[in-house]
Amino acid sequence: MKLGFLTACLPESSLSDIARWAVDQGYDALEVAGWPSTDARNHIRVDRFDEAEYARVGRIFADTGLVLSSIAYYENNLHPTEGAQVNAHVRRCIEAAAALGCPTVGTFVGRDPGLPVRDNLAKGADVLGPLVEYGRRHGVELVIENCLMKSWHPDGYPGNLAYSPELWEWMFGIGLKLNYDPSHLLALGIDPVGAMLPYIPDISHVQAKDTEILPGKIDRFGYFGPVSGEKGWYRFRVPGRGQLDWTRIIDALQEGGYTGVVSVEHEDPVWSGSTARVQTGLGIAYETLRPLIRG
């Protein structure tokens, strides 16, 4: 098992600078942001992936010895008007991953908010099934993070149909794999360890993010959260600053045979606002997880 982080939290830094810092900190791997070149989260330019870009990225990983665990592009593959554009970019991510020897591409299932869940799942099979097959032909697995993405639905319902074990089973049925992030399960009343145990063979990547429960807030909003625009009853933190039991989580993954990368996804508002603060947050995550993860 190796310890890495998702580069999207450092949009103002170059991939080479991020990689050098990661090595100095002691990290083993990077999950590299691959959004379009118009987005700041484009540490690998998959929509301009020519020989020069291949050489640039390959040289960074060869020189540092870091593992490229995944190319990350988390957008709505079922969006009613933008879905085809998202699907096309996922294919470009797969092509770049294959060229670089990267085993996975991470994305979301998403949701069409104008359709009921049952119709979305049928649409999801039609849209994502061919992407899975495209990845298979290139030797790349498509992994889905179990994030709720409530902001994608006008009423705050889950906007990414991958949030529960019931939906994971649907995903596995069409060939998708899981990028397991335990932070989202706490907000659904799901035991992060008990839920994942039966599915460890279908976990191809892990994201490490923590969840802090804000005292007293759930008594006002309930599990579904506020409708008033107020902040909700939980917030995401770096590992070690929330309520998740990382010893239990990592131990269960190891016992279940997971040998891949655990990638810190930094969305902590306390340790944000500058490159230095984000790096401090990544340092806290490293200090929390490194005693549990030995490559």
Q: Is the sign of the CA dihedral 177, 182, 187, 192 positive or negative? A: positive
Element of type H or E holding 106 = strand 104-108
Percent above pLDDT 90 for the chain: 89
> Which residues is 106 bridged to in the sheet?
72, 143
Contact criterion met (CB below 8 Å) for 210 and 237 = yes
pLDDT tens, position by position, 119-170: 999 999 999 999 999 999 999 999 999 999 988 998 888 999 999 999 999 9
Tokens of 286: 């490293």
- Cα angle vertex 183, ends 226, 229, to 5°? 15
* 248, containing H or E segment: helix 246-255
Give 233-236 contacts, CB < 8 A, sequence gap 24+.
234/186, 234/187, 235/211, 235/269, 236/183, 236/209, 236/210, 236/211, 236/212, 236/267, 236/268, 236/269
For residue 152, what are the domain limits? 2-292
Domain containing residue 251: CATH number: 3.20.20.150
- What is the pLDDT confidence band of residue 220, given thresholds at 50, 70 and 90? confident
- Look at residue 229 in the predicted model and tell me its pLDDT: 67
DSSP letter at 268 equals -
C-alpha 164/C-alpha 180 separation (Å) is 11
Range in 41-50, 93-102, 209-218, 244-253 with the lowest mean pLDDT: 209-218
Q: Which residue has the tokens 């099934």?
A: 129
Cα–Cα dist 203/106, whole Å:
12
* Residue 178 near residue 199, CB atoms below 8 Å: yes
Of 29-38, 223-232, 239-248, minimum mean pLDDT range: 223-232
Mean pLDDT of the chain: 96
Alpha-carbon distance 275 to 82, whole Å? 31
DSSP assignment, residue 9?
G
The helix/strand/coil state of 114 is coil
Residue among 31, 19, 6 nearest 209 (CA): 6
- Give how many domains the chain has, as a whole number: 1
* Chain centre to alpha carbon of residue 57: 20
Distance, in Å, from the CA atom of 174 to the CA atom of 177, rounded to the nearest integer, reads 9
